[in-house]
Structure 1
C-alpha cells in the first residue's frame, strides 16, 4: 500500500469551524472491528467526530466529547471503498505538526460501503481452479467457478481433497463491489454468501488478482492467480500469490453449442398466453432467456440435439441453464403448432448432462405443456363458419387464473371469456388487463334468459372473428374474439384467440379447446396454457356446447326483401314500355 507521509500545517485553518466530506462519500460504511455502521454525512464522521479543516485527502477531525483533534488521511480507492490512516487524538497545541505524526507503517483501515451498487466481476467463468489454505495445494478433485445471470456475481464450488488438511467442500457466492489498481497489483472487494456467513465480518473479503502471462497461459493453461484476505480487511495482501487462501484459475472447456429450431428464430420474442413469462432467443439462436413477471431470469444454452422430426417441427434438446447462480442441465422439447404458436415441455434440473433426457428427469407423457405465442397480431381463419346456438354455458367454480389478477370482491369482474351466472342473473364482461383493462358492465337489475341461451357467429362479420351474443332484456352484449392459430392432437382441437380490438402489445390470449361430437361441438377454455388435463365440454374455466343453426346470411331478411325487389322490377318494366311508345311516335 502507499506510504502516508504527511506534513500539513493547520495554522491557516484554525479559524475554520466546519468542512465537508465529499458528497459521494455520504452514506453508511462497514469497518472490521467496529460494531456499529460508520456514517459519513456533511461534516460528520460518526465514529471520529466533526471535520473542522481539510486540504486534499487530509482532514482535521474534532472529537467533541474528548475535546481533542486527530488527523485522518482518507484515500478513495473506489466509490465503494475508502482506506485511511490516522493519528491519536491530541490537544490543540500539536495541530501544526499533527499530520506529520502519521508514519508509513501506521495501521491502514478499510471501510466498505454498505448497500453498495455491485459492479461486473473482473473475470467471467466458467473456470476450474486449485486452491491452497496454507496446508498444501488442493488439486483433485478440481474446484470450479461458474458465471451467474448477474455479471456482478460468481459461484465458487470448493472441493475437498482427502490428502490436504484444511480443504473442505463448500459453495460460495461472490458479489463484486469494487476494483482498483495499485502499482502492479489489482484489487477486488466483494461480499461472500454461504451457509455459515452470519455477519459482515464474515461476508466482506479483499482479493488481489493478476492475469497470467502469455507464456504461463500457454505452458500450463493458467488464466488468473488470486489471493484472498482472511478477514474483512485488505491488510497483508501484497501479491496474487500471498494470502489466507490462494487460487489458480484455468478456463474451463466451453460448452458445445447447438441451435434452437430455425422457425423459432423467425420471431425472437415469445410469451405465455397471460404474459406472465417472456422467452427471448439470442446469440445466433443458441441462447434462450426466460423472464417471468417477478423478474427472475433463466439463461438457457442449447447444448445437444437429442431428437428431431425431419422438418424440425418437434425437437428435443439438452440445454444448460443458469438461474441466479444456480446452474445445471435441462431437457426441453419444442413443438411448432402454427406460424405464431409453439409449445414446450421442460424437464427437471440435473447436474449431469447425460441424465437430462432420461425418463427420471424428462417424461413427455406426464410433463405439462407451456403454450407460447409471438407478439404479432396476425390472425387466421376461425374453424367452422356460420351461426351456432350455445348451450349449457358453465363457469367452473374452482379458482381460475383470473383470480390471480383480479382480487376485487364486489363486483366480480370476468375475464374476456364471459361467464353466465344464473344465481346472480347478471353478466359482467371484462377483457382482463394484464397491461390494459377495459370493462363493460350491465346493471344487476337487468335480467337475462334463465336458460343462458346465447349465439355464436363464426366468420360472419370477418373470416377471423368469433362473436358471442347473450340474449338479455338489456341491450345485447357481444364478445368478439380473433383467431390466431390452431392445431389438432388426438381428436382434440386447440385454438388460440384474443379479444377483438385489443391487438396491442401486452394483451393476453386464450386457448379454446374443442372436440366434435354427433350433436355439435364441445368447448372449454383456459387462460394460461392449452392444458391437456382439460376435457372439452366437461372441465375447464369456461364450458359450453354449440350446435349449428344455419349459415351466416339471414334467411328471414332475404324473404322480406322479395316484395321490394318485385316492385322494383315492375317499375323498371313499366318505364321501359313508356319510353318505347314515346320514341316510336
Structure 2
C-alpha cells in the first residue's frame, strides 16, 4: 500500500512539474528581439517564438515543446552560447517526438549549422581597431586574386563604434567593385580566434537584416589579416587569412597626425563641458590632448545616448595667452579633426576664457595644408560651461524687484532679481487676458564688460534644457535686458523666443520682500511635474512567492491523492 502511495505521489509531482513548466527559464539578459538571418525571433522568460516553450534545461541545453505543428506536439533541443550581450550563437535539432532532453539533444551533430542571433536595436560597441588602414582584398566567390591596385582604404570615423570601407575595383580582378560602406561594430569576442560582428550601412541607419556581417581578424604590429562572411552568419570563416572574402591590412601611417601639443590649462578644469543650448557635449582627454564633441540624439536624452560628431587632436599651438578685449585667457591651436562622415583634415581653433567656467570655443577655416596660416573668417562659435554646475549669486548691483516691458510684444510683468533667493531670478509675465506665467532662472556665472553685465542662467532641475546668456545694460530709459546665445550682445534670439526687455528703474528693494517672507511659512518646493518616462508597471510575483504557491498546490494535490486512494 505504501509503495502505491509513493508511486502515486511521484506521478503527482511529475504532473505538477509539467503543468508549472518546471524551472526552465531563459536568462533575463537574453529576453527581447533578435535578428537571425532574414527573420526575427522573440525570447521571453520561458518561450522562443517560432520554436516553442521551454520544458527542461541542462546547462546551456534547452528542451522546447512545440505544439503548433500539424503532426501534434514535438520536442526540439537548442544549445546556446552567449558571446556578447548583443550576440548569441546556437545550434538546434529538428523536432522529435521524444521528450528526453538527452535523446533530443543527441540529434545535434557537427553538420548542424551554427546560427547567429544579434540583438535588434543593439547599442554599438567601440571597434577593436582604430585609425586608418590600406588594404587589398579577394572575393573568394569568383576567384583568389587579391585586388591591390588601386589599393582600398579603411578610414577612421569620429565615433569609435564605426569605420568606413572604401573598396576599389581592380580592372583585371573579378568580383571587385567601387563602393563606400560604413561598418558599425556591435560585438567582439574570442573563441580561439578574434571575432567582430557588425553591420554595413551606407551612412544612414538601416534595419536591413541582410547587412550584418561576421569578421575574424588578427592584427600584428602595423599589419593584419581579416576574413569576412558573405551573409549574417559566421559560417565559412576558417581563419583570419582563410575565408570567402579575405583582406590584408596595413596601417596607413600617412594619415596619422604629425606633431602634438597641449590645450590651454583652463580647459582641463573640467573633463566635460556643454554648450548653452544643451545640444553638444565637449569631452576632454588630458592624456591624449583630444576633444570629442558629442551630439544628443534627441531632446529627451542627456548625454548617455549620443553620437560623436567631431574629434579634435591638438597638433600645434600657434599662440598662447593672446590678449583680446574682455578675455582673461586665450589660445590658438591647429588641430587634426575627424568628423562623423569619416573625413579627416586640419583646422584652426581658438579658445577664450571669458570668466572662470565660461569658455568661448571658435572654429576657424579648414586648412588645405597645415602650413597655411589660420583664418577665422568663416567661423562657428560656442559658449561652453561645465556639464555639472551649481548656482551662484545673482549680480548684487542689479538686485531688486523691477517692473518691465517686453519691447517685442508690449507685454508687462515683474522681475524679482535675487530677492526670493540670492541665486534666483523670477520672471512674472502678465498676458493679454490678465493671465500670469512665471519662469524661474538660477544664476550660474556673471562678469562685466565695460557698462554691460553678462549673466549665464538656467532653469533649475532641467539638465538638458537651454541655458540663457542675458546681457544687462543701463540706459537713460532703464536697464535693457537682452538675450544672446553667444554672449556677444549683437544677437537677440534664443530658441525662437525674443528676450528684449526694458526694466524700469529704480527697482524696489528686496528688504520688504524679505520681511514679508520671514513672517510666513516656508514656501513649498517647486517640482517639475512632467515625467515623460513614467510608465505602467506590472508587478510579477517574486521567486519566493512562486515557491510558496507551488508548495500549496503540491499539498492540495497530495491530499487529494491520499483521499482518492482510500
Larger C-alpha radius of gyration, 1 or 2?
A: 1
Structure 2: segments with no counterpart, 5+ residues: 1-12, 324-328, 435-440, 493-497, 507-566
* Cα distance change, pair 169–260 in 1 and its aligned pair in 2 (3 A): farther
The residue that corresponds to 1:131 in the other structure is: 137
Q: How does 1:85-96 map to 2 (within 5 A)?
A: 85-92=91-98
Whether the 8 Å contact between 2:274 and 2:385 is mirrored in structure 1 is yes
Q: How does 1:285-300 map to 2 (within 5 A)?
A: 286-291=289-294, 294=298, 295=303, 296=306, 297-300=308-311
Q: CA deviation at 1:227?
A: 0.9
Structure 1 position 146 matched with structure 2 position 156: yes
Structure 1 position 320 matched with structure 2 position 336: yes
Provide the rounded CA distance (Å) in 1 between the counterparts of 2:449 and 2:363.
21
Could you tell me the TM-score, scaled by structure 1's length?
0.60
The residue that corresponds to 2:166 in the other structure is: 158
Q: CA deviation at 1:495?
A: 3.5
Structure 1 position 72 matched with structure 2 position 77: yes
Structure 1 position 110 matched with structure 2 position 116: yes
Structure 1 position 345 matched with structure 2 position 390: no
Structure 1 position 177 matched with structure 2 position 194: no
Q: CA deviation at 1:113?
A: 2.9
Q: CA deviation at 1:231?
A: 0.5
The residue that corresponds to 1:26 in the other structure is: 31
Structure 1 position 50 matched with structure 2 position 63: no
The residue that corresponds to 1:232 in the other structure is: 232
> Which of the residues 500, 515, 525 maps onto 1:542?
500
Structure 1 position 486 matched with structure 2 position 498: no
> Which of the residues 331, 335, 344 maps onto 2:348?
331
Whether the 8 Å contact between 2:425 and 2:443 is mirrored in structure 1 is no
The residue that corresponds to 1:302 in the other structure is: 313
Provide the rounded CA distance (Å) in 1 between the counterparts of 2:186 and 2:281.
30
Q: CA deviation at 1:228?
A: 0.8
Q: How does 1:184-223 map to 2 (within 5 A)?
A: 184-194=192-202, 200-212=208-220, 217=221, 221-222=222-223
Q: CA deviation at 1:358?
A: 7.6
Whether the 8 Å contact between 1:125 and 1:145 is mirrored in structure 2 is yes
Displacement over 6 Å in runs of 4+ = 13-16, 93-96, 355-359, 376-382, 442-445, 479-483, 499-502, 504-507, 519-522
Whether the 8 Å contact between 2:281 and 2:295 is mirrored in structure 1 is yes
Whether the 8 Å contact between 1:74 and 1:82 is mirrored in structure 2 is no
Could you tell me the TM-score, scaled by structure 2's length?
0.62
> Matched residue pairs, number?
446
Q: CA deviation at 1:147?
A: 4.6
Whether the 8 Å contact between 1:298 and 1:321 is mirrored in structure 2 is no
Task: Describe the SS at the equivalent of 1:238.
Answer: coil
1:433-467 deviations in whole A, cap 9, x for unaligned?
xxx9864648789x9xxxxxxxxxxxxxxxxxxxx
The residue that corresponds to 1:401 in the other structure is: none
The residue that corresponds to 1:8 in the other structure is: none
The residue that corresponds to 1:81 in the other structure is: 87
Whether the 8 Å contact between 1:338 and 1:486 is mirrored in structure 2 is no
The residue that corresponds to 2:455 in the other structure is: 497
Q: CA deviation at 1:347?
A: 4.0
Q: CA deviation at 1:394?
A: 5.9
Whether the 8 Å contact between 2:332 and 2:351 is mirrored in structure 1 is yes
The residue that corresponds to 1:512 in the other structure is: 471
The residue that corresponds to 1:242 in the other structure is: 242
Q: CA deviation at 1:46?
A: 2.4
Provide the rounded CA distance (Å) in 2 between the counterparts of 1:93 and 1:308.
78
Q: CA deviation at 1:239?
A: 0.8
Q: CA deviation at 1:185?
A: 2.0
Task: Describe the SS at the equivalent of 2:369.
Answer: helix
The residue that corresponds to 2:65 in the other structure is: 62
The residue that corresponds to 1:260 in the other structure is: 263
